[in-house]
């Protein structure tokens, strides 16, 4: 994927064009808001971020608390009970029922938002950071350094991603942080390739030569002249990538590489109650829907951003 | 053309080497003490010493690099002496002989386990991919041709949902609907296993009266007997064939949905692009029937990017197979990876990872090469 030089987001990054910054930003924003899928995606994600931030207020129970002995009448894997919808007042209220450890499923799903979004943003943030460094250095330096770095990226891409993440976590040891690192490492090559290709396409541009002639340092040229051109594809890919990371962390938790988690996490909630599918499907359905909705939000926003920011694709 | 294929083959070699190196490195350099990692609580010095000897873990890892009491030590002076006598060389040598090590849990060669487990995975993956192509391509073509129609909007909404739902959530949902909700209806489908109890596929060796056969030929026959659909089809075991297919429907739908959605999207956008090109206008201007223009002229070019995507989707399919086989209890490679994770059987995880990555690289190589046949423009570069 190569960056185009004329998309509005990138022009704003160039100080020379900053005479009408407000209108350019407005154009970009307008472009995004004209995309129906972007609006839906943005709405879903706003909801989810709000849920993550205000989780302690939204959740009805402590997500890690076993309610046996704390709440009268609590039952193991009880069906959803909402008093407003006709559930008898004698039963304790649990919007999504309880799980096998007498915990409130609704609260666990709500707090799971925090886990998934944190892991998604951090893992992809790390991947962008390292991917950008690798891609920028490889593209700008060229030669053997470029060759070696890109061959390493090829090797990482040669694995099915979940499998690579699995062997990295088994090597680093179980745990959420290591799973996050694994997802980050697996995602690096995509960003390295994006940045490298846009560096290659702008390295010889006149304004870069001009900056060199003016005596700007290499790192300055890379940061201020070359990298802003990668912003559009990076933003689009990152949006889709966070959705992918949310899927991946759930999958890693589901196959059990993460181990036992104290923090509520959607994939491990499903793994834990997998065998109860026919008896208590709500325990699986609730986190399953949460994962799907989150990933859908990122995918819709990513598609909308691509259509809005990349003029070449406007058909 | 030959030159192109050779060049692609040569570029693949370092990638394969890199795969082996990464898998090897994750096992020897990072995991801490391998004995403790594998045996956990049971790892005492009395147990670990023979363990380390048996697996050659006291040798240099790579030339000059040792592990002493969990610490890595680099002794440059030892490089010449350990140039060939080190763990990595032994591992590579084993690989070249088809030896992937012994499973810690089952004490059996990983390669044997793999041969037993591979047919189920290949069968599932092929069926899922076939489903994705047979449904995804026509859907993509229709929605591209009838842009913004109800079919288009419906397909794209489905495609968005299809790439967002985790394989295991879809699998569990399908199992719930078809095995519980529709239990006593004709639509009921089995939620686990490859065959119903009481039904078995007679192995090829038995059917052909070759039970006394031994050696590699027998192993090959047994390998093909693992493909239940294929074996029951060519030997006419119709009851077993029907049962095997019924067991494959739900897993194949669960696994095939993501590639289906992606193929539909790519086909659609690719057809849209092609339909806007000059040669399509020319075809229309010279009075060809719309059918001919779309199906003969546009579709052919529109399907080119789809070929690439199918190759890339194999990675997603192989990742998804781990999840699908776990959900549906299918005795395939993916299910083994899951079991190996739970049993901390690192040798199995690594052996299977190498083989799956090699398969993935190989298929993409074939896709790349076939692409040059399909699209002469690539060859000119």
Q: pLDDT at position A89, please?
A: 80
Q: A-contacting residues of B 172-231, CB under 8 Å? A: 172-173, 175-176, 179-180
pLDDT single digits (tens) B250-290: 999 999 999 999 999 999 989 998 988 889 899 889 988 88
Q: Which has the higher per-residue pLDDT, A229 or A12?
A: A229
Most B CBs within 10 A among A40, A165, A167, A284, hence the mutation to make, goes to A167
Q: Which of B23, B169, B272 sits opposite A270 (nearest CB)?
A: B169
Query: pLDDT at residue B66 above 70?
Result: yes
Are the C-beta atoms of residues A313 and A307 closer than 8 Å to each other?
yes
pLDDT single digits (tens) B320-367: 999 999 999 998 988 888 888 877 777 888 888 898 889 889 888 888
Cα Rg of chain A (Å, integer): 23
Q: A-contacting residues of B 73-112, CB under 8 Å? A: none
Segment A179-200 shows an average pLDDT of 93
Segment B69-81 shows an average pLDDT of 76
Q: pLDDT at position A300, please?
A: 92
Q: A-contacting residues of B 288-317, CB under 8 Å? A: 315-316
Query: pLDDT at residue B29 above 80?
Result: no
pLDDT single digits (tens) A120-170: 999 999 999 999 999 999 998 888 999 899 989 989 988 889 999 988 888
Are the C-beta atoms of residues A8 and A24 closer than 8 Å to each other?
yes
Distance in Å, alpha carbon of B27 to nearest chain A alpha carbon: 6
Residues of B in contact with A281 (CB under 8 A): 176
Spatial distance between the Cα atoms of B54 and A243, rounded to a whole number of angstroms:
45
Residues of B in contact with A174 (CB under 8 A): none
pLDDT single digits (tens) A23-81: 666 777 777 777 788 899 999 999 999 999 999 998 888 888 888 877 777 788 888 88
Most B CBs within 10 A among A148, A160, A161, hence the mutation to make, goes to A160
Query: pLDDT at residue A9 above 60?
Result: no
Q: pLDDT at position A188, please?
A: 96
Most A CBs within 10 A among B30, B268, B319, hence the mutation to make, goes to B319
Whether A168 has its CB under 8 Å from any CB of chain B: the answer is: yes
Of all residues in chain A, what percent are helix, strand and coil, respectively (each to 5)?
70, 0, 25
Nearest to A157 by CA among A187, A198, A125: A187
Q: pLDDT at position A5, please?
A: 45
| Whole-prediction pTM | 0.86
Given CA atoms B152, B156, B158, B162 in this order, what sign does their dihedral have?
Answer: positive
pLDDT confidence band for A11 (50 / 70 / 90)? very low
Q: Which has the higher per-residue pLDDT, B29 or B48?
A: B48
Tell me whether residues B326 and A171 touch, CB distance under 8 A. no
Residue of B nearest to A293 (CA): B164
Query: pLDDT at residue A314 above 50?
Result: no
What are the angstrom distances between the C-alpha of A238 and each of A121, A122, A124, B23? 9, 11, 7, 27
Query: pLDDT at residue B237 above 70?
Result: yes
pLDDT single digits (tens) B287-306: 888 888 888 888 888 888 88
Spatial distance between the Cα atoms of A67 and A76, rounded to a whole number of angstroms:
9
Tell me whether residues A171 and B27 touch, CB distance under 8 A. yes
CA A161-A135-A309 angle, 5° bins? 85
ipTM attached to this prediction: 0.86
Q: pLDDT at position A2, please?
A: 42
Name the CA dihedral angle for B360, B361, B363, B365, rounded to a multiple of 10 degrees.
Answer: 160
Residues of B in contact with A166 (CB under 8 A): 322, 337, 341, 349, 353
pLDDT confidence band for B192 (50 / 70 / 90)? confident
Most B CBs within 10 A among A1, A39, A170, A245, hence the mutation to make, goes to A170
| DSSP three-state, residue A2 | coil
**If you count residue pairs, one on A and one on B, with CB atoms under 8 Å apart, how many are there?**
140
Q: Which has the higher per-residue pLDDT, B241 or B104?
A: B241
Query: pLDDT at residue B14 above 80?
Result: yes
Spatial distance between the Cα atoms of B73 and B87, rounded to a whole number of angstroms:
15
Whether A175 has its CB under 8 Å from any CB of chain B: the answer is: no
Q: Which of B18, B164, B322 sits opposite A162 (nearest CB)?
A: B322
Query: pLDDT at residue B43 above 80?
Result: no
Whether A300 has its CB under 8 Å from any CB of chain B: the answer is: yes
Q: pLDDT at position A149, please?
A: 92
Spatial distance between the Cα atoms of B372 and B362, rounded to a whole number of angstroms:
16
Tell me whether residues A285 and B361 touch, CB distance under 8 A. no
Spatial distance between the Cα atoms of A5 and A26, rounded to a whole number of angstroms:
18
Q: Which of A152, A160, A292 sits opposite B315 (nearest CB)?
A: A160
The stretches of A204-259 forming alpha helices (DSSP H) are 206-213, 218-220, 231-255
Distance in Å, alpha carbon of A13 to nearest chain B alpha carbon: 30
Query: pLDDT at residue B173 above 90?
Result: yes
Q: Angle A281-309/A231-255 helices, nearest 10 degrees?
A: 170
Q: B-contacting residues of A 257-276, CB under 8 Å? A: 257, 267, 270, 274
Segment A252-266 shows an average pLDDT of 86
State what percent of residues in chain B have pLDDT above 90.
Answer: 23
Average pLDDT, chain A: 85
pLDDT confidence band for B62 (50 / 70 / 90)? confident
Average pLDDT, chain B: 85
Are the C-beta atoms of residues A302 and A40 closer than 8 Å to each other?
no
Whether B19 has its CB under 8 Å from any CB of chain A: the answer is: yes
């Amino acid at each position: 994927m190569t960056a185009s030089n004329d998309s509005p987001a990138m022009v704003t990054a160039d100080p020379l064009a900053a005479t009408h910054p407000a209108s350019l930003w407005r154009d970009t924003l307008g472009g995004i808001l004209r995309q129906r899928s972007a609006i839906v995606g943005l709405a879903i994600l706003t909801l989810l971020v709000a849920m993550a931030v205000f989780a302690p207020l939204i959740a009805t129970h402590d997500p890690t608390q076993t309610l046996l002995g704390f709440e009268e009448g609590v039952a193991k894997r009880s069906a959803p009970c909402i008093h407003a919808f006709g559930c008898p007042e004698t039963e304790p209220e649990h919007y999504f029922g309880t799980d096998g450890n007498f915990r409130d499923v609704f609260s666990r799903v709500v707090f799971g938002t925090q886990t998934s979004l944190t892991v998604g943003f951090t893992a992809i943030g790390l991947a962008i950071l390292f991917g950008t460094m690798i891609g920028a250095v490889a593209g700008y330096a060229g030669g053997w350094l470029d060759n070696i770095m890109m061959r390493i990226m090829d090797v990482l891409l040669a694995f099915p991603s979940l499998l690579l993440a699995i062997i990295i976590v088994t090597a680093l040891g179980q745990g959420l942080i290591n799973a996050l690192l694994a997802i980050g490492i697996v995602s690096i090559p995509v960003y390295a390739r994006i940045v490298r290709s846009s560096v290659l396409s702008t390295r010889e541009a006149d304004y870069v030569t001009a900056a060199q002639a003016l005596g700007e340092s290499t790192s300055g040229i890379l940061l201020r002249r070359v990298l802003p051109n990668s912003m559009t594809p990076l933003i689009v890919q990152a949006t889709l990538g966070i959705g992918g990371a949310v899927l991946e962390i759930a999958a890693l938790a589901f196959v059990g590489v993460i181990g036992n988690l104290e923090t509520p996490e959607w994939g491990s909630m499903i793994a834990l109650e997998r065998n109860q599918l026919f008896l208590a499907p709500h325990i699986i359905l609730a986190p399953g829907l949460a994962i799907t909705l989150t990933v859908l939000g990122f995918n819709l926003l990513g598609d909308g951003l691509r259509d809005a920011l990349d003029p070449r694709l406007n058909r | 053309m030959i030159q192109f294929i050779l060049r692609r083959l040569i570029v693949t070699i370092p990638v394969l080497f890199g795969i082996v190196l990464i898998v090897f490195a994750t096992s020897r350099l990072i995991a801490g003490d391998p004995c403790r990692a594998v045996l956990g609580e049971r790892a005492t010095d009395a147990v670990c010493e023979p363990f380390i000897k048996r697996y050659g873990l006291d040798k240099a890892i790579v030339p000059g690099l040792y592990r002493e009491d969990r610490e890595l030590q680099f002794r440059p002076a030892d490089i010449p002496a350990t140039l060939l006598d080190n763990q990595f060389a032994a591992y590579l040598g084993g690989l070249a002989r088809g030896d992937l090590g012994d499973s810690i849990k089952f004490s059996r060669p990983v390669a044997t386990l793999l041969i037993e487990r591979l047919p189920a995975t290949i069968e599932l993956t092929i069926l899922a991919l076939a489903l994705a192509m047979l449904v995804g391509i026509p859907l993509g073509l229709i929605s591209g041709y009838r842009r913004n129609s109800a079919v288009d909007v419906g397909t794209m909404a489905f495609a968005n949902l299809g790439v967002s739902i985790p394989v295991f959530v879809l699998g569990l949902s399908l199992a719930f609907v078809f095995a519980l909700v529709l239990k006593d209806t004709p639509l009921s489908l089995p939620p686990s296993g490859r065959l119903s109890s009481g039904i078995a596929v007679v192995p090829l060796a038995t059917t052909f009266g070759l039970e006394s056969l031994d050696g590699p030929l027998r192993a090959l026959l047994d390998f093909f007997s693992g493909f239940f659909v294929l074996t029951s089809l060519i030997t006419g075991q119709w009851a077993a064939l029907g049962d095997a297919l019924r067991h494959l429907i739900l897993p194949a739908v669960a696994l095939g949905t993501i590639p289906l959605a992606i193929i539909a999207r790519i086909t659609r956008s690719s057809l849209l692009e092609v339909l806007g090109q000059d040669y399509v206008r020319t075809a229309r201007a010279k009075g060809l029937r719309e059918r001919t223009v779309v199906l003969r002229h546009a579709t052919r070019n529109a399907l080119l990017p789809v070929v690439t995507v199918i190759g890339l989707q194999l990675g997603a399919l192989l990742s998804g197979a781990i999840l699908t086989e776990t959900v549906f209890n299918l005795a395939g490679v993916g299910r083994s990876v899951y079991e190996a994770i739970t049993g901390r059987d690192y040798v199995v995880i690594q052996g299977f990872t190498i083989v799956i990555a090699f398969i993935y690289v190989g298929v993409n190589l074939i896709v790349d090469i076939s692409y040059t046949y399909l699209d002469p423009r690539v060859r000119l570069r």
